[in-house]
Structure 1
Amino acid sequence: MYCKGTGRTFPSGLCAEGFVCVGGAFEHSPSDYLTGFPCPVGFFCPVGTSKSKPCPKGTFSEQSGLVDSSQCQSCSPGFYCSESGLFAVSGPCLPGFYCLDGSESASPASGPSGGICPVGHYCPEGTSVPSPCPAGFYQNDTGKTDEDDCKPCPLGWFQDLPGQKECDPCPPGFHCKPLSPSPSKGTSTGVSSPLPCPAGFICPRGNPDSQLLPCPKGTYSPSQGLITTGQCLMCPAGQFCGSEGLVEPSGSCAAGFLCLTGAKVPNPTDNRTGSLCPTGIFCQRGLRAGSWDDRHR
């Protein structure tokens, strides 16, 4: 309260809002710092204030003369305000945590003002929004602080979304194997998208190492996405497939030989995939071209 003038028997009225009136105040808005003063930063002063009221925890105020707690600022995202009556934030949120608007703690428990950094993410110092691990990586622990804490998907697994706690198994007909190291991660590169199994190879179901298995000798395949060796094509009659992983036959069989389907060499003699040209028969490009009787007619 304040008492204006002399000879009064009762106070003139309440101290003005935004001010503090101490003993002997003779104005409703004193600023002599003896009988009163403007409400200081970090505090608010409604009408009739004799002792300034601190802005509550989770808030602060850089301005003087506040009249209500609603004028106190919420603690900035990424920072915390651990005490009442603050004129500045207490400091940045600790690594491994995130602080939302109005946080009272540098390491808040999960709640409306923040929490521990969730799985699939990392939170450096001063985090307000957890950063997701990139696609091709995962993080199954909480409280991580750096992107280097994100783990690359292992061979045979992939992750096409950011911010995930686990990777998915590579589907049949695809392979999940890093093709080249990441410049920022060295050799620790995860797979973000399965690649179709290349022509000449198979990618079976449940292939933990995502190894490319070649179509065997005697077969080939021009198609992508095979999942069993049975999908590889048998080398056609008259041709041979002399190595693994072929996308087309190696070539025609040798003169004087008969090549059946599945030949692995140009001059087969196993009598299963081919043989020497039979007696009385002549063979061209590994195929029966006619008989000697035909030639002499």
Structure 2
Amino acid sequence: MPTRFHSAFIHRFVCIGGSESDRPIDGLKGYLCPKGFYCPAGSAIEVPCEPGTYSPMPGASFCLPCPPGTMCNTPGTKEPIICSAGHYCPVQTAYPLPCPAGTMNMMEGALSATACVACPAGSFCRGEANDQPDGPCLQGYFCQGGATDAVPLVSEMFPRNGFCPSGHYCPEGALTPMPCPLGSIRNNTGGTSLESCLPCPAGHYCASEGLQMPSGSCLPGFYCPAGFSALSPNAFLCPKGHHCPPGSASPLPCPAGEYQPNRGSEVCVPCQPGYYCEETIAGDPQPCPPHTYCPPATKVPQLCHNGTFTPAHTSGLQEPNDCLPCPPGKFCRRGQIQGSCAAGFFCLSGSYEFTPHGPSVAAACPPGVICAGLCPAGFYCPEGTDEPLACPPNTLRSLPGARHKADCLPCPSGYWCHQGKCGDIL
């Protein structure tokens, strides 16, 4: 039994009129049905093959469907045309079907939509009928595939297309986000290059790739400097004479009055009594020098109060009462004996002036009390006097401030005098 293909080519003719045969070939009364046309029985004129069909041989009674991978895009097609790249052509295609946006087909003769593959990673395929990518995706974005524009959009098939995520950077045409390296971070999206990754912030460490925030703060007793990009919480050991609390960017000098003799310390220790600790001085506290005292946490040695002193070889005093009262006949300032009290004055204890103006003579001078002053009437006081000297018998001194024994005058007539004082003769 003849097939459809064979029956298509049982020669058909066109009978114009007056033909004496069912197969006229003289061209006047009829002719063989030409290529690209078909002629049903009794045809007075040939019929062109419709788009999507063709007739490759003369005498056809019907047209053949255009085979898959080809197209027949004009009426009267004699031979199918190979399907163009960027398209696909199923059976009986009149016009090639374009591959959709985000896909491409580099080969000619595609049979079906399965020939349209997703635009490659790192590239975009804008619009339809792409036979190659239009270009690379923009920097700051990444394209895993199927991108329809240089700024890729998320799709059901490629849900991660889009902005470069934080902790990463995406150069032009990035297939996948590149993680910021160890010791760096990026806390915003859209990084475009390695320079978009910032050094780990001072006082912190960044121990893994792709961080948007530091891994944590530097440990107590250590520091993580700016620009170093610390990879661990114990980047640098805190040096002697400094302290490093958690998250230190640099070692902090011990403040005045404190010290730290060890490395790797979080805090400084108050200077012990009898010693002083100057700012930025590393190492052990210094003994309090002579003429001074140093209570706990002393920054600068304190001078003994005026009216007190220490011997030149004495050091390490802790409080003001450790300083000694100025000795009799002397005056003391800045913790040292400055010299003898002036003539006409007495200095029993605690004097700090060359010419003191203190209370009158006391039998005993309590600690911390200044017992010094102008030589009283009836007495005289040579230079360096600790206790006023009474005028000799039968002499008197009615005014204070006598310097020498000669300042005591003879007792006047009609009076008697005892220890510089006089009275009426009975």
TM-score > 0.5 by shorter chain: yes
| Secondary structure of 1:24's aligned partner | coil
Number of aligned residues: 242
Greater relative contact order (Cα < 8 A, sep 6+): 1
Cα distance in 2 between the residues matched to 1:56 and 1:39:
16
Match of 1:14 in 2: 65
Match of 1:198 in 2: 238
Cα distance in 2 between the residues matched to 1:20 and 1:110:
34
What is the CA-CA distance between 1:272 and the residue it aligns to? 4.6
Structure 1 residues 135, 156: CA separation in 2 closer, same or farther (over 3 Å shift)? same
CA contact (8 A) 2:225 2:250 kept: yes
Match of 2:77 in 1: 25
Does residue 170 of the first structure (1) align with residue 211 of the second (2)? Answer: no
Task: Write out aligned runs for 1:6-85 (5 A).
Answer: 6-11=58-63, 13-22=64-73, 23-26=75-78, 30=79, 36-85=80-129
Amino acid across the alignment from 1:198: C
| Secondary structure of 2:65's aligned partner | coil
What is the CA-CA distance between 1:97 and the residue it aligns to? 1.0
Amino acid across the alignment from 2:87: F
Amino acid across the alignment from 2:147: S
| Secondary structure of 1:63's aligned partner | coil
Structure 1 residues 197, 42: CA separation in 2 closer, same or farther (over 3 Å shift)? same
Cα deviation per residue 1:23-67 (whole Å; 9 max; x = unaligned)?
Answer: 3234xxx3xxxxx31111111111211111111111112211111
CA contact (8 A) 1:44 1:65 kept: yes
What is the CA-CA distance between 1:103 and the residue it aligns to? 1.1
What is the CA-CA distance between 1:130 and the residue it aligns to? 1.6
What is the CA-CA distance between 1:85 and the residue it aligns to? 0.5
| Secondary structure of 1:70's aligned partner | helix
What is the CA-CA distance between 1:210 and the residue it aligns to? 3.6
Q: Calculate the aligned-residue CA RMSD, in Å.
A: 3.8
Amino acid across the alignment from 2:315: T
Structure 1 residues 119, 110: CA separation in 2 closer, same or farther (over 3 Å shift)? farther
Q: What's the TM-score, normalizing by structure 1? A: 0.67
Select the structure of larger CA radius of gyration: 2
Amino acid across the alignment from 1:271: L
Match of 1:86 in 2: 130
Q: What's the TM-score, normalizing by structure 2? A: 0.48
Structure 1 residues 214, 268: CA separation in 2 closer, same or farther (over 3 Å shift)? farther
Structure 1 residues 85, 132: CA separation in 2 closer, same or farther (over 3 Å shift)? same
Cα deviation per residue 1:261-285 (whole Å; 9 max; x = unaligned)?
Answer: x9x9xx9812359x9xxxxxxxxxx
Identity %: 30
Structure 1 residues 210, 198: CA separation in 2 closer, same or farther (over 3 Å shift)? closer
What is the CA-CA distance between 1:152 and the residue it aligns to? 2.1
Segments of structure 1 that go 5 or more residues without pairing to the other structure are 31-35, 179-187, 235-239, 252-261, 276-297
Cα deviation per residue 1:128-176 (whole Å; 9 max; x = unaligned)?
Answer: 2122222222222222212222222332122222222222322323211
Structure 1 residues 47, 233: CA separation in 2 closer, same or farther (over 3 Å shift)? farther
Segments of structure 2 that go 5 or more residues without pairing to the other structure are 1-52, 287-296, 300-312, 323-426
Cα deviation per residue 1:184-220 (whole Å; 9 max; x = unaligned)?
Answer: xxxx54333232533524311354x443445988865
Cα distance in 1 between the residues matched to 2:188 and 2:202:
20
| Secondary structure of 1:82's aligned partner | coil
Structure 1 residues 244, 215: CA separation in 2 closer, same or farther (over 3 Å shift)? farther
CA contact (8 A) 2:259 2:268 kept: no
Match of 2:15 in 1: none
Match of 2:196 in 1: 149
Structure 1 residues 146, 218: CA separation in 2 closer, same or farther (over 3 Å shift)? closer
Task: Write out aligned runs for 1:87-236 (5 A).
Answer: 87-111=131-155, 112=158, 114-167=161-214, 168-178=216-226, 188-194=227-233, 195-200=235-240, 201-205=242-246, 207=248, 209-214=249-254, 221-222=261-262, 224=264, 226-230=265-269
Cα distance in 2 between the residues matched to 1:199 and 1:123:
41
Cα distance in 1 between the residues matched to 2:314 and 2:260:
18
Residue number among 51, 57, 64 corresponding to 1:5 in the alignment:
57
CA contact (8 A) 2:167 2:210 kept: yes
| Secondary structure of 2:114's aligned partner | helix
Amino acid across the alignment from 1:77: A
CA contact (8 A) 1:215 1:245 kept: no
CA contact (8 A) 2:147 2:153 kept: no
CA contact (8 A) 1:217 1:244 kept: no
What is the CA-CA distance between 1:223 and the residue it aligns to? 5.1
Cα distance in 1 between the residues matched to 2:61 and 2:232:
86
Amino acid across the alignment from 2:57: G
Cα distance in 2 between the residues matched to 1:214 and 1:110:
56
Match of 2:418 in 1: none
Structure 1 residues 53, 110: CA separation in 2 closer, same or farther (over 3 Å shift)? closer
Structure 1 residues 89, 156: CA separation in 2 closer, same or farther (over 3 Å shift)? same
Residue number among 315, 319, 322 corresponding to 1:269 in the alignment:
315
Amino acid across the alignment from 2:72: C
What is the CA-CA distance between 1:89 and the residue it aligns to? 0.4
Cα distance in 1 between the residues matched to 2:185 and 2:208:
9
CA contact (8 A) 2:123 2:136 kept: yes
CA contact (8 A) 2:271 2:277 kept: no
